[in-house]
Amino acid sequence: MVSEFMAVNFQNIRIVLVQTSHPGNIGSAARAMKNMCLENLYLVSPQNFPDPEGKSRAMAAGADDVLAGIKIFDSLDEALAGCSYVVGASARLRAIPWPVIDPRECVQQLTEIAQTDQVALVFGREDRGLTNEELERCNALVHIPGNPDYMSLNIAAAVQVLAYEIHMSSYLQGDKLEKLVEFYDHPRATADEVEGLYGHFESALISLGFHDPDNPRQLMRRLRRLFNRAGLDKMEVNILRGILTAAEKATKGKNINTNKV
Q: Which fold has domain 191-251?
A: Helicase, Ruva Protein; domain 3 (1.10.8)
Task: Report H helices in 51-190.
Answer: 55-60, 64-68, 76-80, 103-113, 132-135, 155-173
Give phi and psi for 107, each to the nearest 5.
-65, -40
The whole-angstrom separation of Cα 141 and Cα 87 is 5
Tell the burial category of 234 from Cβ atoms under 10 Å away from its Cβ (0-12, 13-18, 19+): middle
Tell the burial category of 198 from Cβ atoms under 10 Å away from its Cβ (0-12, 13-18, 19+): middle
Residues of the chain with CATH 3.40.1280.10: 10-178
3-state secondary structure string across 61-76: CCCHHHHHCCEEECCH
Asked if pLDDT for residue 259 goes beyond 80, the answer is no
CATH code of 10-178, in short, is 3.40.1280.10
Tens digit of pLDDT for each residue in 154-209? 999 999 999 999 998 876 554 444 444 455 678 889 989 999 999 999 999 888 88
Residues of the chain with CATH 1.10.8.590: 191-251
Encoded amino acid at 17, one letter: L
DSSP state of 129: B
Tens digit of pLDDT for each residue in 208-245? 888 888 877 788 888 888 888 888 989 999 999 999 99
